[in-house]
Amino acid sequence: MRYLELTSLGILFFAAAALGQSQSKADNSNAASAAAIAGSKEDPKAVDRGAKLFATHCGGCHGVNAKGGPGAPDLIRSVLVLDDEKGILIAPVLREGRPDQGMPKPNLTEPQISDIVAWLHVQTYAADHRTTYTFLDVVTGDPQKGQAYFNAAGKCNTCHSITGDLKGVGKKYEPFALQSKWLQPRSARGASPSDSARSAIQVTVMLPSGESVSGKLDHIDDFNVSLYDSSGEYHSFTRDGAAPKVELHDPLKAHRDLLAQYTDADIHNVTAFLVTLK
Amino acid sequence: MNIRLFFFLATLAAVAFGQGLTQSTLLKQPTDSWPTYNGDYSGRRFSPLKQINSSNVHTLSLAWATRYNRNPNSAGATVPIKATPLMVNGILYFTAPNNVWAADARTGRELWHYEYPPNTGSTIGNRGVGMYGNWLFFESPDSQLVSLDARTGKQRWKVQIADPKLDYTSTVAPVVIGNHILVGIGGDHLDNPGFLESRDPETGALQWKWWTTPRKGEPGIETWPDEYSSSHGTGQTWIPGTYDPEQNLYIVGTGNPNPVMAEKSRKGDNLYTCSIVAINPDTGKLVWYFQPSPHDVHDWDAVQTPIQFDGVIDGKPRKLIAQASRNGYFFVLDRTTGKNILTKPYIETLNWAKGIDAKGQPIPDPAKYPTTDGVLVSPSSNGATNWPAPSFDPDTGLFYVGTSRPYAMFYLTDTDDHPEGWGGRDTGVGGDPGALLAIDYKTGNIAWRHEWPSGNGVTHIMTTAGRLLFTANGDNLIAFDPANGKILWHTGLTAALSAGPITYMLDGKQYLLVAAGDTLYTFTVNQPAK
């Protein structure tokens, strides 16, 4: 359940591509993501130590990632762990164990207990904050098929060139960011000014006098359209139904139209191809 | 207690203590008040008022606009008024997280302002208060149900409804049915169980609690691998439902299952998540259900207001309920049985289903479940629509909904056999702008559409017998002709519409009231001098 926030998103409805961290392959270790450690405000060194201590002392039953094992509960869903602050609830369990429930006393020092508490807090924080989630491997496609799609069905080569604008693109972006950026160039964070200028929507307003004014679209709704012309001057016009006539040109229309045409394999193949453009 | 007898006694009691909201008011369609989240129990957000109408709407002008200031240091200070205000006996009652206000509906002047103590609960929004006699009820960010005296704003009591440290978010406007305060809940990051519960209006004591996912031995448990996955399957109830007094059914939508995008540990349909459920408000027992999104993996809650109306299907009068669901499908059900009458997509980009099953439920395509390398799906997790209020106009027979057609890449981030929380994310990759749709309930066909040139299409709607539909785009408040989609009037606000518009009659004048950001605006048409 994510609540939709009402924000004006410009001419195209697009959500910001979340260019989070990614990694080259699924990581089955229990190291916490940097974003989750930062967000949880726990000491990174303590968290790092806690990860190793947990794996050694607790992972055998609870799993190295604390998601539970045969007879031992998932600690990320544990009400005791979730309700804990500063180890007040967790530390007594780590000191004494829970012999009545089959959990032996782990024999940990107080600093070790603190480290495990810090690591557990990062685990629950991470589960609770999806913006800290780490994207996994997106390079699963066939680069040759991707190249074929680029030059034929996708018609990417009509606007792009692997020796021109896309030269070295596989070196410039790590794969997840690259896939997000080529699917929706406008929404990618950190776009350069030249990229922004290239993808700006152009508008022409044709006045009843026969005069027309063109430039970069500033805003459009049912009642107003405004733009900046090539000299940087601002123009604003009242709209009333079809008057004045307004024509929009979106340089990224091809990207938008392709959304209804791609297969998922096409997407993965193109990414695999672009990754090779080092 | 028999509910009809209760209403009779409650009406007597309400008369005895003068001001306040009587139960008989709740059972009819009042025009001199807006006493519940949706204005009446049906959820139609249709007013029979027509002093403001398509012939004079061009003269609609501002009566008053008032900002409601919060303590800048209090949590939630920047969250807009997402509450649909109530208007009862000339007083408005509305909320923002941690804040409740009463204001004079004639002037906008604040009568009292209640501030809930600082806390660490989620302040994503608050949808408003419920009212019973002179008592108000609202949910605090840290999951307390708080009752205030509507005359003074003084707190009567508060009771804990959930553990806020388990990522429950409490935003719902409570719904009052008889002597039941129906309380819903939100939050889906930590795989906690969803519920709907009923509280006593005088004491806050629990009357019943219905878990949205079944426990061992209960019907529906066969749609989960085991009780453990079901009891961590979430399915929250974060938007008020609607009520059919004739059948005594409270009909409400439930949210997505958990883990949200990682489905490996919860194979099956995952009842009663992403469902429309009919509950007996006296007992808390499930009477029927319909599941718009079996085994959801895209965060498509089915909480959107299920609107009740009586209509004609194949020449026969029927008691209906309809939902434009977040997953992009429009559903019409028989509200006495929950049986499906019609299922039809209302956005053309929808690409995640293999078809419709015999029960009228979409069949999810496993090829569109989130993967580590991403799958392209429309709509995005924000949905084809979301919580903003839809409307049904009995005069046109059309169902109106604000929509969006985004695409997103859905990524699986948790490949563990026991995934947690969301277990994945989606990233938006664009799509066409949104549209206001008018849907014919008999066919599911789009009777008319208005494509927005920009901005979010998922906005609040209200219709009236004055042949008007009010909605918004960007910061513009707009009146349409509900029969054909022609724009009749608009005005600029200082922010986007943040809650559903309401209307009521006061001193012989019809008011239109809207909330945008921290400001309420009212509009009237000027009457000829007497």
In a domain, B530, yes or no: no
In a domain, A138, yes or no: no
- Residues B301-343 have pLDDT tens digits of 999 999 999 999 999 999 999 999 999 999 999 999 999 999 9
Cα separation of B252 and B236, whole Å?
11
Taking the Cβ of residue A183 and every Cβ of chain B, the question of whether any pair is shorter than 8 Å is answered with yes
Residue A71 gets the label, from left (phi > 0), alpha (psi -120 to 50) or beta, of left
Decide if A222 and B478 are in contact by the 8 Å CB cutoff.
Answer: yes
Same domain, A181 and A88: no
Taking the Cβ of residue B37 and every Cβ of chain A, the question of whether any pair is shorter than 8 Å is answered with no
Pick the residue from chain B with its C-alpha nearest to A250.
B432
Which residue is listed with tokens 């009333």? A240
Interface of A with B in 131-150 (CB under 8 A): 131, 133-141
Query: What 8-state DSSP symbol labels residue A35?
Result: H
Percent of chain A scoring above 70 in pLDDT: 87
Q: Rounded to 10 degrees, what is the CA torsion of B105, B106, B112, B113?
A: 50
Q: Distance of alpha carbon B283 from its chain centroid, rounded?
A: 23
Same domain, A53 and A160: no
Please answer whether residues A267 and A140 qualify as being in contact, where contact means their C-beta atoms are separated by less than 8 angstroms: no
In a domain, A18, yes or no: no
Same domain, A55 and A72: yes
pLDDT band at A190 (very low <50, low <70, confident <90, very high): low
pLDDT band at A69 (very low <50, low <70, confident <90, very high): confident
Phi, psi (degrees; rounded to nearest 5) at B300: -95, 75
Domain count, chain A: 3
The residue among A1, A41, A189, A219 with the most chain B CBs within 10 A of its CB, best to mutate, is A1
In a domain, B144, yes or no: yes
Domain CATH code at residue A233: 2.30.30
Cα separation of B475 and B466, whole Å?
23
Residue B514's DSSP bridge partners are B521
pLDDT band at B529 (very low <50, low <70, confident <90, very high): low
Q: Please determine, for residue A26, whether its predicted confidence score (pLDDT) is greater than 90.
A: no
Pick the residue from chain A with its C-alpha nearest to B405.
A13
Residue B334 designated active-site: no
Same domain, A60 and A175: no
Domain CATH code at residue A105: 1.10.760.10
Taking the Cβ of residue B78 and every Cβ of chain A, the question of whether any pair is shorter than 8 Å is answered with no
Min Cα distance A173 → chain B (Å) is 16
**Chain B partners of A139 at a C-beta cutoff of 8 Å?**
373
- Residue A210 sits in which domain range? 201-250
Interface of B with A in 204-263 (CB under 8 A): 232, 234, 236, 238, 255-256, 260
Same domain, A75 and A125: yes
When mean pLDDT is compared across A39-43, B24-28, B265-269, the lowest value belongs to: B24-28
Cα separation of B184 and B205, whole Å?
15
Q: Please determine, for residue A22, whether its predicted confidence score (pLDDT) is greater than 80.
A: no
Same domain, A110 and A152: no
Same domain, A39 and A121: yes
Please answer whether residues B332 and B441 qualify as being in contact, where contact means their C-beta atoms are separated by less than 8 angstroms: yes
Cα separation of A264 and A268, whole Å?
6
Decide if A13 and B434 are in contact by the 8 Å CB cutoff.
Answer: yes
pTM flag (> 0.80) = yes
Please answer whether residues A127 and A76 qualify as being in contact, where contact means their C-beta atoms are separated by less than 8 angstroms: yes
In a domain, B366, yes or no: yes
In a domain, A26, yes or no: no
Same domain, A99 and A179: no
All residues at 6 or more sequence positions from A264 whose CB lies less than 8 Å from its CB, including other chains: B367, B371, B374, B375, B376
In a domain, A49, yes or no: yes
Same domain, A111 and A41: yes
pLDDT band at B174 (very low <50, low <70, confident <90, very high): very high
Closest to B474 measured CA to CA, from B463, B459, B485: B459
In a domain, B236, yes or no: yes
In a domain, B367, yes or no: yes
Same domain, A225 and A269: no
Identify the active-site residue in B296, B299, B301, B393: B299
pLDDT band at B143 (very low <50, low <70, confident <90, very high): very high
Q: Give the mean pLDDT of chain A.
A: 88
- Residues A102-124 have pLDDT tens digits of 999 999 999 999 999 999 999 99
- Residue B294 sits in which domain range? 3-69+80-524
Please answer whether residues A145 and A153 qualify as being in contact, where contact means their C-beta atoms are separated by less than 8 angstroms: no
In a domain, A213, yes or no: yes
Domain count, chain B: 1
Q: Residue A108 has which token pair?
A: 């940990």
- DSSP, collapsed to helix, strand or coil, labels residue B430 as strand
Interface of A with B in 213-252 (CB under 8 A): 219-223, 252
- Cα–Cα distances (Å) from A41 to A33, A53, A101, A119, in that order, read 13, 20, 32, 11
Domain CATH code at residue B19: 2.140.10.10
Same domain, A93 and A61: yes
pLDDT band at A17 (very low <50, low <70, confident <90, very high): very low
- The size of the A-B interface in CB pairs under 8 A is 210
Taking the Cβ of residue B24 and every Cβ of chain A, the question of whether any pair is shorter than 8 Å is answered with no
In a domain, B529, yes or no: no
- The amino acid sitting at A81 is V
Amino acid B2: pLDDT: 53
Decide if A74 and B420 are in contact by the 8 Å CB cutoff.
Answer: yes
